[in-house]
Amino acid sequence: MTDGASRRVRSLPPYLFARIDEIKREAAASGTDIIDLGVGDPDLGPPVAVLETLMRGVRENGSHHYSSYAGLSGLREAFAAWFEKRHGIALDPESEILPLLGSKEGIGHISLACLDEGDEVLVPDPGYPVYAAGAVLAGARPVYYPLRREKEFLPDAGELAEMVTPETKMMWLNYPSNPTTAMVNAPLLKRIVEFARERGVRICHDMAYSEITFDGRKALSLMEIPGGKDAGIEFHSLSKTFCMPGWRVGFAVGNAGIIRALAKVKTNLDSGIFIPVQEAAITALTECEDHVQVVRRIFEERRNRFVGGLREAGWEVPVPAATFYVWLPVPRGTDSMEFCTRLLGAAGIVSTPGVGFGAHGEGFIRMSLTLPDDRLDEAIARLRAVQ
C-alpha cells in the first residue's frame, strides 16, 4: 500500500518555504524570540483606498457569485492601462491579458498548458522553486542553467544556446531576481529573445518584483523587447507592488496563443478571483501609484540601513539592485544550511539557505527586509554577535 501520492508528487522535494514555516513554529514553541527574515511577506499593508473598495464590494448584492473565468473586463482594462503607462506597450485586454489567482498559480499552471511529457524546460539556478515544480508536475524535465556571481547573476546567452535540445520547449527568466536581487539589461534580454525565437523556445518571465527597484532603476519588461510579445509571456503580481500577498491577484500577459492555453487550464481548475477582490485590484491599479512610490522608498531605506549596518560590522554584503531581499555570502568554511541553522540557534534569526533555490545558490543565504526598522536593527545587533 502506497501513501496515495503519484510518482510526480513523490519526486518533488519538500517545498522550501513550507519547511521554513515549520522551523519557525518549532523555534517559537521553544520560547525563542524569533526575527523572521525568511519568507518575503510584505509588512506594510495595502493602500487604504483598496481596503475601502473591498469592504464596499463584499456588501453588494451579487458580489458573492462566481466571477468570469477571464476576470472582470474592467480589471483587464485597468491592468492594460497600468502596463502601457509603466512600460509603453499596448496590450489587448481581450487576448493578451489573463488575471491569475496570484502569479504563483499561473507560474505553476503554465507547464500544464504548454508542455508535454518529456519536454525540457530551462530553469535558472538559483531560482524560485515553483518553476521546476510546475515542470515536474506536468511530466516535463527541468534543465538548470547557472546564475553566477561573477556574471552578475545574469544568464550567459551562449551557454543557453548550447543547452537547447530538440526537447527544449520553454525557459524561465526572473528579473528583478528572487533570490539574487539582480536586474537584466536590454541588450542581453534582446539576445535571449532572438535565441528563443530562433530555437522555438517559449519564454516565461516572472516580474513579481517589477516595482521594487532602487537607485532610480526601472525594471525591463519582456514586452518592451522587439519580438518579446511573440516569444512568450510575463507574470505580474499585486502582492509586492501593492503589498497584497494574501489577496492572490496576478496577471499573465503576452503571446495570445500561450495566454489562451493557460486560460483553458484555468477554466478546468479554478473559478476565478472573488469579485470584490477584483474591484479592489482595479482601485490599486488606477488610484494608488503614490502608495507604490512610498513602498519603494521604504524598502530602499531599509536596504540602506541593513546593508550599511552589516558592512560596518565587517560583513561582505552586495548592495541589492531590487526586491526586498539581501543575498548574503556565507562565511568561508560553512555552507548555507549550516549557517542558517547557526543563525537560528545562536541569534533567533530565520533566514533562507541559498541551496534551497538550487545548487548554484550554495554559498549564500537570503534575508528579507519585510520587518520594521527596530527589528532590523535588532537583527543587525544579533548578527554582529554571531560573526
Q: What domains appear along the chain, each with residue ranges and CATH number?
A: 7-45+290-386 (3.90.1150.10), 48-288 (3.40.640.10)
pLDDT score for 1: 42
Rounded distance between C-alpha atoms, residue 122 and residue 2, angstroms: 32
Q: What is the pLDDT of residue 14?
A: 66
Beta-bridge mates of residue 35: 349
pLDDT, mean of residues 37-59: 92
pLDDT of residue 4: 78
What pLDDT, on a 0 to 100 scale, did the predictor assign at position 12?
67
Whole-number percent of the chain with pLDDT over 70: 95
- Do β-strands 232-237 and 250-254 pair in parallel, antiparallel, or remain unpaired? antiparallel
Q: What does the pLDDT average to over 88-116?
A: 96
Cβ atoms < 10 Å from Cβ of 247: 22
> Any idea which of 61-65, 215-219, 276-280, 292-296 has the lowest mean pLDDT?
61-65
271 band by pLDDT with thresholds 50, 70 and 90: confident
pLDDT at 17 over 70: no
Closest among 69, 65, 139 to 101, alpha carbons compared: 69
Overall average pLDDT of the 361-385 stretch: 94
Q: Please state whether beta strands 35-36 and 250-254 pair in parallel, antiparallel, or not at all (unpaired).
A: unpaired
Lookup: cell for 296: 519603494
Task: Answer whether 132's CB lies under 8 Å from 143's CB.
Answer: no
Dihedral (Cα; 134, 140, 141, 145), 10-degree rounding: -60
DSSP three-state, residue 242: coil
Q: For residue 75, how far is the Cα from the chain centroid?
A: 21
Mean pLDDT, range 189-199, rounded to an integer: 95
pLDDT of residue 15: 60
Does the pLDDT of residue 39 top 90, yes or no?
no
Mean pLDDT throughout 26-53? 87
Name the least confident of 24-28, 104-108, 363-367: 24-28
What are the cell numbers at 51? 481596503
Q: Let me know: does 243 contact 281? Beta carbons within 8 Å.
A: no
When pLDDT is averaged across residues 201-229 and rounded to a whole number, the result is: 97
Q: Is the pLDDT of residue 148 over 80?
A: yes
